[in-house]
Amino acid sequence: MAVNGLTEADVVFLRELVLRRSAIVIDESKDYLIETRLEKLARDLNYANLGTLVADVRRDSGTITRQLIEALTTHETLFFRDVRPFDALKREILPPMIAARQASRQLTIWSAACSTGQEIFSVAMLLREQFPEVVNWPVRLYATDISGQVIERAAQGRFQQLEVNRGLPAAMLVKYFERDGVDWKIKDDIRRMVRFEQLNLLHNWPADLRPDIVLLRNVLIYFSVATKKELLTRVRHVLRPGGALMLGSAETTLGIDDSWERAPDSVTPWYRLPRSGP
């Protein structure tokens, strides 16, 4: 499909640029994304048409390119997204993990494509609600995303009414948020539980990152099989023994990295590494 105002060469250039910088694959079936999202960006930045916007992107690999990649990235997220993964955390994953960590009191949970923070704040609230025994542990909640814009927003912990209406039980809104003008702000004690950082998953990860639980949800879908394979292998190498991997509902390790096993009898698929030895 041709994209309004762009040559075929422009579209190929954009696809390659986004792939190189973020690993996101925009195939031809998603050309409508290029059109609708870039038209909005062109309007916001006062470009007369998409052609002149892309001409500037070709000349400048800095700000305008970052804005373009932001515009083509999907940041859709919500509190307690899909519900069941959070049931699995509450009933299947966290209880044995917390029991096993009584001595070290160490627990690290990584939201590896966190968008505006709803996912990791859901985990933080779940810990507060269900596992009060870890309140005084140095629990490390680490949340990263390629997008500086969403990380900045997430770190503020401020959400619009529409956002708190999505997935967040009313009782939790009352308990863990306070009004901030027309918006809602997550209370400081929850916000301070999380460290947000900009991180492109294709780049190096922090050398000391040894998570017990990795939430790599609703991001693998945008990548090629080779990138999925590479990321699943890297997660395998950093995950602590006995750790858990959670993916989005349309994502799986099956047929991509079969070193992972699906937890049996779970309310929702999540993955772990078989223990070696007898």
Ligand X SMILES: C[S@@+](CC[C@H](N)C(=O)[O-])C[C@H]1O[C@@H](n2cnc3c(N)ncnc32)[C@H](O)[C@@H]1O
Per CB under 6 A, the list member of 34, 141, 150, 186 interacting with ligand X is 150
Residues 70-89 that bind ligand X (CB under 6 A): 73-77, 81
Are 155 and 111 in contact by the 8 Å Cβ rule? The answer is no
Q: Kindly tell me which of 5 and 26 has the beta carbon lying closer to ligand X.
A: 26
In the complex with ligand X, which residue's Cβ is closer, 108 or 147?
A: 147
d(CA 113, CA 251): 14
Task: Show contacts with ligand X in window 105-134 (CB under 6 A).
Answer: 113-115, 119
Q: Whole-number minimum distance, CB 201 to ligand X, in Å? A: 4
* Minimum distance from residue 114 beta carbon to ligand X (Å): 6
CB atoms within 10 A of CB 161: 9
Reading the block at residue 36, the tokens are 């609708």
118 within 8 A of 167, measured Cβ to Cβ: yes
Kindly write out the interface string for residues 12-51 of this chain, putting x where it contacts ligand X by CB under 6 A and - elsewhere.
----------xxx---------------------------
Residue closer to ligand X (CB basis): 5 or 117: 117
Q: Residue 75 or residue 185: which is nearer to ligand X going by CB?
A: 75
143 binds ligand X (CB under 6 A): no
- Return the SS3 of 197: strand
Residues 170-229 that bind ligand X (CB under 6 A): 200-202, 217-219, 222
Q: Which residues of 18-48 are buried (b: 16+ CB within 10 A; e: fewer)?
A: beebbbbebeeeebeebbebbbebbeeeebe
Q: Which residues within the stretch 227-256 sit at the binding site for ligand X (CB under 6 A)?
A: 248
Cβ neighbours for 197, distance < 8 A, ≥ 6 positions apart: 142, 143, 144, 151
Smallest gap, in angstroms, from Cβ of residue 118 to ligand X? 6
Could you tell me how many residues of this chain bind ligand X (CB under 6 A)?
A: 25
Q: Which is nearer to ligand X, 8 or 76 (CB)?
A: 76
Q: In the chain, where does DSSP find H-type helix?
A: 8-22, 31-44, 50-59, 63-71, 84-88, 94-100, 118-130, 148-156, 161-164, 170-176, 188-191, 225-238
Beta-bridge partners for 216: 247
Q: Interface with ligand X by CB under 6 A: which range of 41-49, 58-66, 69-77, 153-161?
A: 69-77
**Dist. CA 76–CA 56, nearest whole Å:** 28
Give the footprint of ligand X on this chain (CB under 6 A).
Answer: 22-24, 73-77, 81, 113-115, 119, 145-147, 150, 200-202, 217-219, 222, 248
